[in-house]
Structure 1
Amino acid sequence: MLDKSLVWYASYGSNLCRDRFLCYIQGGTPQGSNAYECGCRDRTLPAEDKHLFIEHPLYFAGYSRRWGGGVAFIGSREDKHVNPKSSTLVRMYLIKQEQFGDVVAQENSVSFPVIIPWEQVVEEGKKDLIDSLYGRVVHLGEREGFPIFTFTTARKFEGYTAPSESYLKMLIKFPFDRDDIKSELESHILDKIEFYTDQGYDEAQAEELSVRDMGDAVVIGAELNKQHNPIIGWV
């Protein structure tokens, strides 16, 4: 019998790293971060975790005091400021509804509890709960009988901001298959080039803008990938 109190949290960015995410569950300071996370009220470990591609573009913008660089967000196909053709690899954690709310609270530096109107989010597809960077909760469907949720921003940004080196070094712990990551990175860059050519830029300009969007992350990631497990989450 399915436990109706469980939901999939579809993580991206730094929470792809299980050790980093568990700081939100059990408390602690993630490697490379300068912020201590208090943990959830219920510190039960995720019942399961697995990966999934979602049809939402990922981008970096704004500034994270935790990491000293750009913040990861997912957009929607309707967003005009990101490439609508991109997909994003997420790591899903099967956790309790209360824990998901507590993770949202910690990401937004607000007090417990964050009350989430689950049925309304499912019905409407998304719900803006907090006036903060990660104040929008999004429903992404269902997997194995459990609903999938994530959170992102409702804010609009003028441009992109590359993530920090410490953020990328933390992501080398992420253990997914190297071929999947290579394909995802290549696809993401090609999607960006196509996006800009559709906007009227010539191929050279489109390539330059695509590299700009990725920032120093591409260079850092390539160097780290020579020596460590593959990096993902920032593509």
Structure 2
Amino acid sequence: MFSDPGGRVLVDAAAGNSEAGNPELVWYASYGSNMNPRRLACYLRGGAPDGGVMTLPGCRDATPPRRSVPLLLPGLLYFATESAVWTGGRAFYDPDIADHTAAHAYLLTAAQFSDIAAQEMYREPGTDLDFSLALGTGRARFGPGRYETLVHAGTRDGYPILTFTAPWGRHDVPGNPPAPAYLRHLAHGLIASHGWTIQRTAAYLASRPGADLTWTTAAVVALLTEDAGSPPEIDWSVDNSTQ
């Protein structure tokens, strides 16, 4: 079991189990800019996100998520490499470091998850991923790229929780602070899914490795209180129940 500071159980099973195969539905646990529903909508429907420089083709199936829930994943969020979309550092997840990573999980079809993963690598969607190894062992690489390591983080309501990250770990690459527009998407996603205050959101993001090289809590608070962006307008019915 894994709980938030208030005692709410958010991930209800350990990663890696004997159930292997390709399920029809999966939880896509986003820990980066796709925590913002407006940002995820660009991956589903196609389009360019606020502050981004690249237009995404969208998924084969643009159906909205069936549900969305806040999650806390075991592991560390950090920022590294250089984004071609935003400039500045990208968000990555290291499941091997003892920490908590806030995520926004969306219940999607396996094909939608595969298409989102393809777009993260600037590829055309259309190829279905094989989840069997990740579901059986907890982790699997389906390519050498920065978002081509599949992590099975647990289960919720009988569906596997999946995310993708880099093949390297936090200590293998230098940190790189995220751009303001990118960081704003993460913040809006945290506020929308977890219901955090601006202060708590800012403190969390500013403390992540890579971000902490230039960002302070006060600077993130100032970014979020500027009239430079609006909170998510897409309601995908975030379920905050304990279940």
The residue number in structure 2 matching 1:86 is: 99
The residue number in structure 1 matching 2:49 is: 30
Q: SS where residue 35 of structure 1 aligns?
A: coil
Query: TM (normalized to structure 1)?
Result: 0.76
**Deviation (angstroms), 1:172:** 4.6
In structure 2, the gaps of 5 or more residues are 1-22, 232-243
Structure label with greater radius of gyration: 1
- In the aligned structure 1, how far is the partner of 2:91 from the partner of 2:213? 13
**Deviation (angstroms), 1:186:** 5.8
- In the aligned structure 2, how far is the partner of 1:93 from the partner of 1:151? 14
The equivalences for 1:94-105 within 5 A come to 94-105=107-118
Say if 2:173 is the partner of 1:158: yes
- Of 218-227 and 148-157, more deviation after overlay is shown by 218-227
- Of 153-162 and 169-178, more deviation after overlay is shown by 169-178
Q: SS where residue 82 of structure 2 aligns?
A: strand
Say if 2:4 is the partner of 1:5: no
- Of 15-24 and 170-179, more deviation after overlay is shown by 170-179
The residue number in structure 2 matching 1:204 is: none
Q: SS where residue 133 of structure 2 aligns?
A: helix
Structure 1 residue identity aligned to 2:162? F
**Deviation (angstroms), 1:131:** 1.7
**Deviation (angstroms), 1:215:** 2.5
Structure 1 residue identity aligned to 2:142? L
The equivalences for 1:131-170 within 5 A come to 131-155=144-168, 157-170=172-185
- In the aligned structure 1, how far is the partner of 2:45 from the partner of 2:184? 22
- In the aligned structure 2, how far is the partner of 1:217 from the partner of 1:224? 10
Say if 2:193 is the partner of 1:178: no
Structure 1 residue identity aligned to 2:110? Q
Contact 1:165–1:220 under 8 Å retained in 2: no
* Bigger proportion of residues as helix: 1
Q: In structure 2, which of residues 94, 111, 124 is the aligned counterpart of residue 111 of structure 1? A: 124
- In the aligned structure 1, how far is the partner of 2:186 from the partner of 2:73? 19
- In the aligned structure 2, how far is the partner of 1:160 from the partner of 1:18? 26
Say if 2:72 is the partner of 1:74: no
The structure whose RCO (Cα within 8 Å, separation 6+) is larger is: 2
The equivalences for 1:54-73 within 5 A come to 54-73=73-92
Residues 170, 112 of structure 1: alpha-carbon distance in 2 compared, 3 angstrom cutoff: closer
Q: Provide the aligned C-alpha RMSD in A.
A: 2.6
The residue number in structure 2 matching 1:53 is: 72
Q: In structure 2, which of residues 34, 37, 40 is the aligned counterpart of residue 21 of structure 1? A: 40
Query: TM (normalized to structure 2)?
Result: 0.74
Q: SS where residue 89 of structure 1 aligns?
A: strand
Say if 2:59 is the partner of 1:40: yes
Contact 2:176–2:211 under 8 Å retained in 1: yes
Residues 145, 49 of structure 1: alpha-carbon distance in 2 compared, 3 angstrom cutoff: same
**Deviation (angstroms), 1:158:** 3.0
**Deviation (angstroms), 1:121:** 1.0
| Cα distance per residue 1:53-85 (max 9 Å; x no partner) | 0111110000001011101000022xxxxxx23
- In the aligned structure 1, how far is the partner of 2:199 from the partner of 2:108? 25
Aligned residues: 201
- In the aligned structure 2, how far is the partner of 1:213 from the partner of 1:164? 9
The residue number in structure 1 matching 2:215 is: 217
